[in-house]
Amino acid sequence: MFKRILGKAITYFLLILCGLVMVVPFLWMVSTAMKSQTDINSGSVGFIPYSNVTYYHNEGKREKAKIVTQDKEFSVINIYSEDGKTFKRSYVKVPNSSLTFERKIRFNFNNFSEAFSKVPFGRYFINTIFVSLCVLLGVLISSSLAAYAFARMRFKGRDFIFYLFISMMIVPQPIYLIPSYYLLTKIGWINTYWALIVPWVANIFSIFLLRQQFKTIPKDLFDAAVIDGCSRFGILWKIILPISKPILATTAIFSIIGSWNSFMWPLVMTSSENIRVLQVGLSYFAQESSSHTALLMSASTFSIAPLLILFLFAQRQIISSFVTSGLKE
Amino acid sequence: MKPKKDLNLFPYLYILPAAIIIIAFRLIPIILSFILSFFKWTIKGPEKFIGLINYSQLLRDPGFWQSLTNTFYLVIFVVPITLILSLLFANLLNRTTKLSGLFRTSYFIPTVTSLVAISIVWKLIFSPQNGLMNHILGFFGIHGLGWLSESRGIFTLLLGAMGLKIPAFLGGPSLALCAIIIVCIWRSLGYNTIIYLAGLQNIPEVYYEAAEIDGASKIKQFFKITIPLISPTTFYVLIMTTIVTFQVFAQVYMMTGPPVGGPLGTTKVIVYYIFEKGIDAQEFSYASAIALVLFIIIFALTMLQKRLEKKVQY
């Protein structure tokens, strides 16, 4: 009995520990994103964002204040009104007992908007969404058509073409990156949306996944449709695709995650700010403002947020997609 | 009835859109990368055939050997540790019913988040001054690790702490590369745990029940039933993690430097070296030669593991 409880306790301890290791970087990112830069620079590492708040004491009243400049004798201060919207400037002698400081928990949500406007992140978001949607649409169309032919039609060279495609899956992106860059330069696509979209509108893995699914559909269904006078395209559109919704969703999930997180390809193929995607924009931002830790964490937070929200809502579907596709390979 | 010729052409129309894209943007670049490596080739086009000169240059290039060594360090540390940890956590998850959904979700988050963003976060975590890592290690009495700015090897540091000195070539991966190793393990752990969990759930319960009746201990059950029956999953995890780790790029690009690959080139991995030579320096043919070496390694490992898989499968 005691042994079992101990076993359970150790199991849960390890699982929680591992869960924390997985999640803590994200929690720390969000909390650092809401700290003030002075707080970070003064060596605050914890998870709760603090800020120093200055108060000015005058005739028994306590008013919020901010030190503007300070020299050996005087501090110039702004004294804020109750609602914090207006202030009057004043000065006090140093050292002065009418000023007190308090360390207060304060969430600097301003960091998000400041980071967002520092470089055109809005533009990067739109570019990323545009590219992701175009690629998604292309992948769904081209893969359904090809998978249908590979699964349900007989034609010369079918198996050869299929295995040729499959064998290319083991060639990783870094291998063909350099020649792709050369070819896209030759056709003048560098720095255009074409370079970000067109090479990715066909996806071998999606074709493979869909073909496996289409093969499991019973033949009777097709025969019945043919008797009803359904054309080949009609069969795909009206019968196969509707009953393959789960696998199409899986394909769509992989496509969206892939496009959203794609980094090396757009880094190499684009340089102008107009068509820069989010990940590349974030990487440039990280180089330019490496000392603005709070802003960097803010930018990382809002770059991760859309996919993270998608994941949290559809996590069951997403995890099982990864598992089934992983085991099918 | 339609004429026969029409029927035969029909299927090709369906594969045409995908085939055009795959041939133009996958097959041709793959073939071209092979051809490029035997030529002197600039942005203007091929200049002349130079045979194996790129490859002989490669053998004498210390930057290439360093990047290859770093990549091997990465694989040698990341793959086994990921394998053991993910099997362990999959087993623990398999034994629990409460909260298992919550655990699964939290373990999987790193898999779907962008490498660029998490690299930025981890870079700050490893910051010597205001990073979380040194702060936590401080509680255990470990202070002042330089992490991404530390070029000395991990073995040099460990043995140095015990007062021993070893030659530099035995120093192992630099502490900076260890930081990258930690991020790679962190990133791949969740995915592999979930894959292992699916594998574990496919093992029929009767085996364990039979072993229980025979009085086999839990540990014995793990080594005599779980490990053998899970081996197909193990080989899948092994192949995938190895291939992914050979291609690490974003972590190094975002976390190290400037210059990227520092300190002293101890975090320069092979894919970054391809990027540096091919894109930054525009030495297309030389970069292609490096890429081909990487491909041969990945291909050989895949084949080797596939063969082993056939032999060991139960």
Q: Per residue of chain A (329 residues), what is the pLDDT tens digit?
A: 788 888 888 989 999 999 999 999 999 999 999 888 877 777 777 788 877 777 777 777 777 777 777 777 777 777 777 776 777 777 777 666 677 777 777 788 888 988 898 899 999 999 999 999 999 999 999 999 999 999 988 888 899 999 999 889 888 899 999 999 999 999 999 999 999 999 999 999 999 999 988 988 888 888 888 888 888 888 888 888 998 998 899 899 999 999 999 999 999 999 999 999 999 999 999 998 888 888 999 999 999 999 999 998 888 888 888 887 765 54
Q: Is the separation of the CB atoms in B211 and B221 below 8 Å?
A: yes
Sole residue written with tokens 């091929």 = B46
Nearest CA distance, A173 vs chain B (angstrom)? 9
Residue A160 forms part of a structural domain: yes
Examine the domain organization and report whether A198 and A232 are in the same domain: yes
Task: Please judge whether B121 and A180 are an interchain contact, meaning their C-beta atoms are less than 8 angstroms apart.
Answer: no
Examine the domain organization and report whether A227 and A252 are in the same domain: yes
User: Residue B295 is nearest to which of A44, A175, A304, comparing CB atoms?
Assistant: A175
Taking the Cβ of residue A176 and every Cβ of chain B, the question of whether any pair is shorter than 8 Å is answered with yes
pLDDT at B5: 47
Pairing of strands A87-93, A99-105: unpaired
Give, for all 314 residues of chain B, the pLDDT tens digit.
444 444 568 889 999 999 999 999 999 999 999 999 998 888 888 888 888 999 999 999 999 999 999 999 999 999 999 999 999 999 999 887 778 888 989 999 999 899 999 999 999 999 988 889 999 998 998 888 888 988 888 898 888 888 888 887 788 899 999 999 999 999 999 999 999 999 998 888 888 889 888 888 888 888 888 888 898 888 888 888 999 999 999 999 999 978 888 788 899 999 999 999 999 888 899 999 999 999 999 998 888 877 776 665 54
Look at the domain B54-312 and name its fold: MetI-like fold (1.10.3720)
What's the pTM? 0.89
- Classify residue B261 as left (phi > 0), alpha (psi -120 to 50) or beta: left
Question: What whole-number distance in Å separates Cα of residue A274 and Cα of residue A127?
Answer: 8
Examine the domain organization and report whether A67 and A138 are in the same domain: no
Examine the domain organization and report whether A23 and A89 are in the same domain: no
Q: Which two tokens stand for residue A146?
A: 């090809």
Q: Is the separation of the CB atoms in B195 and B239 below 8 Å?
A: no
Examine the domain organization and report whether A177 and A70 are in the same domain: no
Residue A265 identity (one-letter amino acid): W
Tell me, what's the ipTM? Answer: 0.90
Report the chain A residue with the minimal C-alpha distance to residue B43.
A182
Nearest CA distance, A55 vs chain B (angstrom)? 28
Examine the domain organization and report whether A67 and A148 are in the same domain: no
**Counted domains in chain A:** 3
Residue A270 forms part of a structural domain: yes
Nearest CA distance, B105 vs chain A (angstrom)? 7
Residue A318 forms part of a structural domain: no
Question: What whole-number distance in Å separates Cα of residue A171 and Cα of residue A229?
Answer: 43
Q: In A, which residues are within 8 Å of B15 by CB distance? A: 145-146, 149-150, 161
| Chain-centre distance for alpha carbon B160 | 29
User: Residue B21 is nearest to which of A164, A198, A257, comparing CB atoms?
Assistant: A198
Q: In B, which residues are within 8 Å of A180 by CB distance? A: 25, 29
Task: Please judge whether B17 and A179 are an interchain contact, meaning their C-beta atoms are less than 8 angstroms apart.
Answer: no
Task: Please judge whether B114 and A268 are an interchain contact, meaning their C-beta atoms are less than 8 angstroms apart.
Answer: no
User: Residue A168 is nearest to which of B30, B106, B115, comparing CB atoms?
Assistant: B30
Nearest CA distance, A322 vs chain B (angstrom)? 8
Residue A72 identity (one-letter amino acid): K
Report the chain B residue with the minimal C-alpha distance to residue A29.
B121
Examine the domain organization and report whether A184 and A242 are in the same domain: yes
Q: Which of B314, B80, B95, B81 is nearest to B201 (CA)?
A: B95
CB atoms within 10 A of CB A258: 16
pLDDT at A329: 44
Q: Is the separation of the CB atoms in A173 and A114 below 8 Å?
A: no
Q: Which two tokens stand for residue A225?
A: 């449709």
Q: In A, which residues are within 8 Å of B89 by CB distance? A: 14-15, 18
Q: In B, which residues are within 8 Å of A304 by CB distance? A: 113-114, 117-118
Q: In A, which residues are within 8 Å of B295 by CB distance? A: 171-172, 175
Sole residue written with tokens 């593991």 = B305
Nearest CA distance, A70 vs chain B (angstrom)? 27
For position A57, which CATH number holds?
2.30.30
Degrees, nearest 5: CA angle B110-B70-B126? 45
Return the domain boundaries, chain B.
4-53, 54-312
Counting every residue written for chain B, the total comes to: 314
Task: Please judge whether B132 and A45 are an interchain contact, meaning their C-beta atoms are less than 8 angstroms apart.
Answer: yes
Asked, as a colleague might, if the bond just before A95 is cis with ω within 30 of 0, I would say yes
The b-or-e profile of A39-70 (16+ CB within 10 A means b, else e) is bbeeebbeeebbbeebbbeeeeeebebeeeee
Examine the domain organization and report whether A208 and A276 are in the same domain: yes
Residue B150 identity (one-letter amino acid): E
Backbone angles phi, psi at A34, to 5 degrees: -105, 10
Examine the domain organization and report whether A150 and A270 are in the same domain: yes
pLDDT at B205: 86
Nearest CA distance, A57 vs chain B (angstrom)? 34
Range of the domain at A58: 50-105
Signed CA dihedral, A188, A193, A195, A199: sign only:
negative
Q: Is the separation of the CB atoms in B236 and B195 below 8 Å?
A: yes
Task: Please judge whether A146 and B17 are an interchain contact, meaning their C-beta atoms are less than 8 angstroms apart.
Answer: yes
Taking the Cβ of residue A146 and every Cβ of chain B, the question of whether any pair is shorter than 8 Å is answered with yes
**Which of A4, A21, A22 to substitute to test the interface with B, most B CBs within 10 Å?**
A22
User: Residue B17 is nearest to which of A172, A202, A232, comparing CB atoms?
Assistant: A202
